[in-house]
Amino acid sequence: MEFTELLQNRRSKRKFTAQKVEPEKIEALIRAALMSPTGKKKNHWDFIFIEATDTLEKLSECKPHGAKLIAVAPLAVVVVGDPQQSDTWVEDCSIASVILQLQSEALELGSCWVQVLHREHDETTTADAYIKTLLGIPEKKAVLSVIAIGYPDEVKKPFDLSTLMREKIHREMF
């Protein structure tokens, strides 16, 4: 698939079939994550690949809205950075998250980014703290996102190129 076609077809999928993601596709996702660029080549990110149904269910409770889809995904990747090691950890982990989504699409898998940074689990606990406790992540690390991945159980139309907001493009000056 050509890259432009990949971008046009990649849409967030929130419904997945029960089909497990094959080990060779998980390995392709692992390689893609580990090839994600980082500022100053610090490679300060970590990725937690989760397939256990009970853990996916608990992970889906990390925040009250927008995370329930994790429970029905056969795979989730928790993207973790180290704010003490790099001032670009958010950007670097964001790039890795997008690369995981693009690799998923190239493998004919669906994906959805679940935002964790700056989200609350409840009135007293952040989503980050909840996930750190659940998965044994060191306190100094920070969770940016969870990427839910699986075989999509929904069909979404590709982007209609005629509706792209070209007014958002500026040349030379704003």
Domain ranges of the chain: 12-153
pLDDT at 34: 98
Cα–Cα distance for residue pair 117/144, rounded to 1 Å: 5
Axis crossing angle, helix 89-106 with helix 23-34, rounded to the nearest 10: 150
pLDDT at 70: 98
Q: Which residues contact 107 (CB under 8 A, 6 or more apart)?
A: 25, 28, 29
Residue-by-residue pLDDT tens, the chain, 174 positions: 799 889 999 999 999 999 999 999 999 999 999 999 999 888 999 999 999 999 999 999 999 999 999 999 999 999 999 999 999 999 999 999 999 999 999 999 999 999 999 999 999 999 999 999 999 999 999 999 999 999 999 999 999 999 999 999 999 999
pLDDT at 40: 87
Cα–Cα distance for residue pair 145/124, rounded to 1 Å: 20
What is the domain class of 12-153 according to CATH? alpha beta
Which tens digit of pLDDT belongs to each residue from 80-104?
Answer: 999 999 999 999 999 999 999 999 9
